[in-house]
Amino acid sequence: MVVSQIQQYIQNPIGLKYAAVSTAIITSLIIFSHPWRRAKLFKLLGNKFFFCGLLMIIAWSFFTLRLDNHTKEHLVIKSATKSAILSLLIAIASELKLVIAPFWFAWIATYYLHIT
């Protein structure tokens, strides 16, 4: 019974939506309220190498997170992808000199996505 409750929670994490959206809104407000952070973000996105790499990461993440949970290997791949996305968010936050945001990224990912 506990396993089925955990599976249901993972498949439909309502709290994750609210936490992710509110964190994204607050972080966006902080970035766009400081001109130098906004300029740094646009400079990053304007860099061809960064942008192409980001597109590859998005495509790879979309592909791997849509795998079925039929094998242990797929579960490991999904977990690795979630951890890598979290690492990327933390690296971008560091580049934008956001000190508090990585804490919330890590907390939300650990609590809702069960990343250890």
Domain residue spans of the chain: 47-116
Distance of CA 20 to the CA centre of its chain: 9
What was the pLDDT predicted at 80?
92
DSSP code, position 110? H
Going by C-alpha positions, the residue among 81, 87, 35, 74 that lies closest to residue 60 is 81
What pLDDT is recorded for position 114? 77
Nearest Cα neighbor of 113 from 3, 19, 1, 2 is: 19
What's the pTM?
Answer: 0.80
Between residues 11 and 27, which one has the greater pLDDT?
A: 27
Location of structure tokens 């690795």: 80
pLDDT digits (tens, 9 = 90+) for 35-89: 999 999 999 999 999 999 999 999 999 999 888 888 889 888 988 999 999 999 9
Confidence of residue 12 (pLDDT cuts 50, 70, 90): low
